[in-house]
Structure 1
Amino acid sequence: MATTYSECQTYTDSGTLTTTYLSDEGESSEVKPFATAMIRPHQFRFEFSVEGDSQSRYIVCRDQGQVRTWWDVGRRSERPYSLGLGLAGATGVSGGSAHTIPALLLPREVGGRKLTDVTKTKRGDDQQQGDHACFTIEAQFSGDPITIWIDQESYLVRRIDSQSEFDDFTSQDVTIYDPVINSTIDPSLLKFRAPY
């Protein structure tokens, strides 16, 4: 899986991260759609938003070595020193989707824990994600349970289920990916396209 990501020449995905919060007061959820596009060696773009919130768009884009970011909060564009720094700014608010796959695509540029850093791994039952047969890996990631669904043909990540326990609530994340590698990418997918 790691080799597939680090050696592909182009990559695109679209997906959603759905976080469900469980507490004594009930259940609530939040959906964060995202999209990634990359052409090696210099073009990259990631964007996410929060469904139902028109003021939550976050963009990280690199073209020919120049990195730019936009976040609707504060309505500002910035130019971080590196792609890694640009993605780090988006990681927490995106629920981690700004980091998970970019860290596999560009492991020398994007630091931090990667999916390959899981511990206590074991093979789970094979599962179906849409039309795709998947291997599942059950593991621990930073002390929390995680299940990674890996496409049996392409070795791309199709889904990640994780859970975190806090003092007064539990959060459950389900991230669904629709990835494509080594295909022609529409140049418009890599444009910054930030509001000004």
Structure 2
Amino acid sequence: MNKGILISLVLLAGISANRQQPTAEQIYDRMRKAYTTAQTYQDAGTVTTWYTDKGDKEPNHTTSLNFETAFVRSANRFKFRYEQSKSVMFTNRKTCYLVVSDGKSTRMLKSQHKDRSATHEPSLGAALTAISEGSGTAARKIPGMLLSEPIKASWDPKKLQSVKLIGKATQDGQPCYQLEAVVWGKKKAQLWIDQQTYLIRRIDEDYQSPTVSTRTSITYQPAVNKSVKDEALAFKEEYCD
């Protein structure tokens, strides 16, 4: 084969590969757009946090909770629910929060062991702010991109800085782009972005205090622009039984 033709083919192959491989900025922009333009959204996921005392090599304590989200943009309807079970003196004690908005009002159900209360909240953003820390920040992350209302707690993925592509990985069997970004200061997070839908399938972040280090991993099973049943958006106390 002519040497000139061979070089041209190699160059074309490189150009084609670059076109197929989006940059970190392109992935990040498409990820944000996937949420801001989503007409409907649902997910179910888990937040797991490992705590390691200073000087130790292995975690001393682990917590885990489950959550779910449902959203319909045209009707301005939204639901977020999380629950966490803890074993205290051989008794399972469950904490559950349910936040539902119909576009006009927001209600919150709080259920802890035998105590239960249902309240009307001043706004959806205020309700999600109130439960953000308890939910392991899951009430902030995706809702912060779906909704126009501010949620004044933690951070959401639309505010990341210095985003870079660090590789590819698989999450729940789905090929993903793996991004790393700065949350604030020196704190960093890694995101697994689905290569087809550009939805987030996992977020990992680390935090170091003077006495303990934590690693939190949030996993998602998301669905976008699919039919959402009324039941998935309803305020029902049995959802926290």
Give the shorter-chain TM-score range: over 0.9
Q: How many percent identity over aligned positions?
A: 28
The 3-state SS of whatever aligns with 1:125 is strand
Counterparts of 2:156 and 2:217 in 1: how far apart (Å)? 17
Q: What residue number does 1:105 align with? A: 146
The 3-state SS of whatever aligns with 1:4 is helix
Higher share in helix: 2
Structural mapping, 1:58-77, within 5 Å: 58-73=97-112, 75-77=116-118
Structural mapping, 1:1-196, within 5 Å: 1-23=31-53, 24=55, 26-40=59-73, 41-52=75-86, 54-73=93-112, 75-106=116-147, 108-112=148-152, 113-143=155-185, 144-194=187-237
Higher share in strand: 1
Counterparts of 2:85 and 2:204 in 1: how far apart (Å)? 19
Q: Which is higher, the Rg of structure 1 or of structure 2?
A: 2
- Deviation readout 1:107-145 (Å, 9 max, x if unpaired): x21334421211232111111002211111111212312
Most deviating of 50-59 and 77-86? 50-59
Q: CA deviation at 1:95?
A: 1.1
Give the counterpart letter for 1:109 in structure 2: E
Count of residues paired in the alignment: 195
CA contact (8 A) 1:30 1:51 kept: no
CA RMSD of aligned residues (A): 1.7
Counterparts of 2:93 and 2:45 in 1: how far apart (Å)? 18
Report the TM-score when normalising by structure 2.
Answer: 0.76
Give the counterpart letter for 1:63 in structure 2: D
Q: CA deviation at 1:28?
A: 1.2
Greater relative CO, 1 or 2 (CA 8 Å, sep 6+): 1
List gaps (5 residues or longer) in structure 2: 1-30, 87-91
Report the TM-score when normalising by structure 1.
Answer: 0.93
